[in-house]
Structures are given as structure tokens and as C-alpha cells.
Amino acid sequence: MEKIKMTTPLVEMDGDEMTRVIWKMIKDELLLPFVELNTEYYDLGLPNRDATNDQVTIDAANANKKYGVSVKCATITPNAQRVEEYHLHEMWKSPNGTIRAILGGTVFRTPIQIEAIKPVIRNWKKPITIARHAYGDIYKATEMRLTGKGKAELVFTDEAGKETRQTIFDFEGPGIIQGCYNKDDSIQDFAHACFQYALDLKQDLWFATKDTISKKYDHTFKDIFQELYDTQYKEKFEAAGIEYFYTLIDDAVARVVRSEGGFVWACKNYDGDVMSDMLSTAFGSLAMMQSVLVSPDGNYEYEAAHGTVTRHYYRYLKGEQTSTNPIATIFAWSGALRKRGELDGNQPLVDFANKLEEASLQTLNEGVMTKDLVGLCEGITPKAVNTQEFMVEIRSRLEKLLQA
Ligand code: NAP
Ligand code: MG
């Protein structure tokens, strides 16, 4: 069989520990035998980030900007212990944070579902995608612990030096205050990303805040979404047969639980943080959660939602076989290859990406899986395999699908 060709390079960001090992296995078993992989390779493994003073992360993000699509392996975000372990020159920042700061945009997370793992919420038939606004609010808040009586005020000084003041509270005793902000352009970017992603998936978009209580802050989010929808997306949504709707966050939670799934749920920063953990747990496992960063100017970065699976890596280093789940990383590759194919009008590449996902799901649905999933299955007797065996099982199904 002739290998599938790629016209434009895909930006490849390699990473750390167990996921770096899996990365190579995926390429060797599932990609290179079938695709003439055309990637621009950046080694974001911690030793190389340290050797390049983290320049490699910046270069990789800029390459993502140039070509539009990247696939990223999980990477270590160093802490004090890692500085010692890797003899680092500095405690380098989170690569995801650096990339997000350069590309901007919104992170979408979607669970990968299989028949034998039933969501905790029985009526969820289709995955729910969380879109989290990863900017501002309490993540950039200024806080004060007040030890006694006094008046707290909100003061804004404009460029001309004119002050606007509002009393927050007259304290008769100790208390706490917090100052949060967000920016119109960041909220607009977030809204664009959500509308575009919903159109991409052809799924409804839900958005919810607490605008009845937060009449300026949350209400601004609501207004910006509504204005962009009315002026730029309404017709496109109608043509695609999908819907945008806004509701209160407490109403949204109730509706999500009662829904069948199959929509994009846009969340403010804090709501997205909390709700994405709720969703991944309720759907099954972090090892089955895919993640893509979509920037307002149409750049895509695909990755797994989980980390570098350190505990498994230390066992691997001791020569033990591990049963680490590669599914989310495989889907990062398939997602990136499909997007590359779509942008280049390269149908064979799109078909390959779809078949890679189909082969992976077939393997799981036939009960062959890594250990982390075995305990979650119902109604079947699963067969636990190690990572390498799992890849071989996927490959044999992929070969059949490609020959069909
Ligand atoms: P983690 O790598 O996600 O792993 C936490 C635990 O979850 C694992 O020990 C394992 O449980 C289970 N798990 C996660 N993914 C799995 C998979 N694919 N297959 C099987 N089990 C899986 O999180 P962490 O241990 O907190 O972080 C490790 C490193 O990853 C840190 O250095 C952190 O900075 C980095 N990190 C990177 C990213 C990213 O690049 N996007 C995200 C998060 C964390 P058992 O050990 O019980 O089997
Ligand atoms: Mg969280």
C-alpha cells in the first residue's frame, strides 16, 4: 500500500516521561507505516527546554502560528523537586501556559466514550465538550484579608486621572475582599472560538453565567456573546441546524445533568475549571479526555488532557511493563492530522485520521484495553494488555480498515 502524503508540515511538540515513550510507540506502530509524516519537530522535553532556555517552546508556538496545526505531547511543568531531579537552570514556566499566551484562545475538552464504560449519568448518550475561558476572573484576582473596621471601595482612575468610586462594604469587623477583572477583547475571542467550534462540530452551544446577580460583570459576558451571535453567527448556526442558547449557570447545571449530551458547554474560567473535572470523572477517566486549544485567528493545538504519568514512567525505567493508556494521545494525533487534512484539502489524510480513531475504538469495544479502564467496564469481561500490546491490537484493526 502506498503511504499517504502530506503537503503542509504538522508542528510536532514532543514531551516528557511516559507520554514521550508512548509518543514514539504511536509514531512507530500507528503512523509511520501508513503516512509519509511531514512534521516540523520541536523537542519540548524538559532537558531540551532547559538547554535552550525555553526558547524551543516559544519557537514551537510560533511554528504553530505559521502552519496552523500542532500536536503536543504532555510535558512536565517543573516545581522545586523537578529542578533538582533534572538539574535545571531555572524553574521554567508551564509550556502550556507559554503556548497559550502566544496563541491565545480557548481550550475545548471532550471525553472519548466507549460502549462498556457507562457515564455515571445514565442519560448521557453523547460526549459533552467543555469550553473554558482560560483568562482572568479569580485566576488574576487581587485579594485582601481585612483585620478590622474600615471601608472598602472600588476605585477606577481613567487615563485623564478622573476617579470613579463605589463603596464595596463598610466593615464593622474583620473580613475579606477580592478584585477581579476581565477584558472585552478576551471575552470576544472566547465567544468567537466557541461559536466557531460549535459550527465545526455541528453541535449546539450553551453558555451560562450568573448575570441576574452579577449585573455588570457576568452580564457583560452575556451581552458580548449575544451581540456576536446576532451579528455574525445566527445565520451560520441556522444553516447548520444548530442552536445557541444562554441560560443561568444553575439552570445550565440542571439541564446538563438531564441532557443526552452532544453539545458544547461554554464556561467562564472558574466554572470551566470545576465542571471539566466533574465531566471527565462522570464520563469515565482522565486518560480518555482529549483537549484542543483553538485560537481566535484559527490555530489549533491538539493534546491529551492528562499529564506525563510519572508513576508509570518510574516503573518503566526499572524495566517493568506498564499498561498506560495511549488513547488520548492517539486522538491528539488523529485530531491534528484530520485538521491538517481538512485545511489542505487532503482527503486521504482525513480518512486515515478517522480510521485510526475507529480502529482504537473498535479495539476498546472488543474489550481489549489498558488496566486503568478494566475496572470501569460493565457487561463485558475485558482483557487487560500492556501499552505495546494495545498498540499492536490497534494496528491490526487499522490495517484491515485501511485495506477495506
Ligand atoms: P498525570 O500524569 O495525569 O497522572 C496522574 C495519575 O492519573 C497517574 O499516576 C495515573 O494513575 C493516572 N493516569 C493519567 N493518565 C493516564 C494514562 N494515560 N493511562 C493510565 N493512567 C493514567 O498527572 P500528575 O501525575 O499529576 O502529573 C505528572 C506530570 O505531568 C507533572 O510533572 C505535571 O507537571 C505534568 N502535567 C502535564 C500536563 C500537560 O502537559 N498538559 C497536564 C497535567 C500534568 P495511577 O498511577 O493510579 O495508575
Ligand atoms: Mg482544575
pLDDT at position 296 is: 80
- By the 8 A CB rule, do 167 and 151 touch? yes
Q: Determine the average pLDDT of the residues in 382-388.
A: 96
Contacts of 223-231 with CB under 8 Å at 24 or more apart are 224/184, 224/187, 224/188, 224/191, 225/191, 225/194, 225/266, 228/188, 228/191, 228/192, 228/195, 229/191, 229/195
| Atom of ligand 1 lying closest to residue 329 CA | 18
Domain boundaries 1-113+293-404, corresponding CATH code: 3.40.718.10
Q: What digits encode the pLDDT tens for the residues 42-100?
A: 999 999 999 999 999 999 999 999 999 999 999 999 999 999 999 999 999 999 989 98
Q: Name residue, grid cell 510536532.
A: 12
**What is the number of the ligand closest to the CA of 312?**
1
Percent of the chain with pLDDT over 90: 88
Pairing of strands 69-72, 10-14: parallel
pLDDT at position 297 is: 82
**What is the number of the ligand closest to the CA of 96?**
1
Q: Determine the average pLDDT of the residues in 187-211.
A: 95
Cα separation, 197 vs 182, in Å, equals 22
Confidence of residue 164 (pLDDT cuts 50, 70, 90): very high
pLDDT at position 100 is: 85
Domain ranges of the chain: 1-113+293-404, 118-141+181-283, 142-179
Q: Determine the average pLDDT of the residues in 344-350.
A: 98
145: left (phi over 0), alpha (psi -120 to 50) or beta: beta
pLDDT at position 353 is: 98
User: Does 136 have pLDDT greater than 80?
Assistant: yes
Q: 112 or 296, which is more confident?
A: 112
**What is the number of the ligand closest to the CA of 289?**
1
User: Does 1 have pLDDT greater than 80?
Assistant: no
Q: What digits encode the pLDDT tens for the residues 8-50?
A: 999 999 999 999 999 999 999 999 999 999 999 999 999 999 9
Consecutive H or E run containing 254? helix 249-258
Q: Name residue, grid cell 512507530.
A: 28
pLDDT at position 395 is: 98
pLDDT at position 40 is: 98
Helix (H, G, I), strand (E, B) or coil at 188: helix
pLDDT at position 280 is: 87
Percent of the chain with pLDDT over 70: 100
Confidence of residue 285 (pLDDT cuts 50, 70, 90): confident
Q: From 46, 309, 324, 360, give the residue whose CB has the most ligand 1 atoms within 8 Å, as the site to mutate.
A: 309
Query: Of the candidates 372, 390, 358, which has an alpha carbon nearest to the alpha carbon of residue 285?
Result: 372
Collect all residues with Cβ–Cβ distance below 8 Å to 372 and sequence separation of at least 6.
285, 287, 323, 324, 325
Cα separation, 348 vs 181, in Å, equals 46
CA angle centred on 335, ends 38 and 128, rounded to 5°: 170
Residue 154 to residues 46, 143, 169, 215, 370, Cα–Cα distance (Å): 43, 12, 10, 16, 54
pLDDT at position 399 is: 97
Q: Determine the average pLDDT of the residues in 336-359.
A: 98
CA of 196 from ligand 1 middle (Å) equals 30
Q: Determine the average pLDDT of the residues in 165-183.
A: 97
Minimum CA distance residue for ligand 1 atom 7: 309
Residue 265 to residues 9, 41, 228, 400, Cα–Cα distance (Å): 32, 33, 17, 36
Binding-site residues, ligand 1, Cβ < 6 A: 74-77, 96, 286-287, 303, 306-311, 324-325, 372
- Homologous superfamily (CATH) of 118-141+181-283 is Isopropylmalate Dehydrogenase (3.40.718.10)
Asked if the domains 1-113+293-404 and 118-141+181-283 are classified in one and the same CATH topology, the answer is: yes
Model confidence, pTM = 0.89
- Mean pLDDT, the chain, rounded, equals 95
Q: What digits encode the pLDDT tens for the residues 139-157?
A: 888 999 999 999 999 999 9
CA of 247 from ligand 1 middle (Å) equals 34
pLDDT at position 394 is: 98
Q: Determine the average pLDDT of the residues in 227-240.
A: 98
CA of 5 from ligand 1 middle (Å) equals 33
Minimum CA distance residue for ligand 1 atom 33: 76
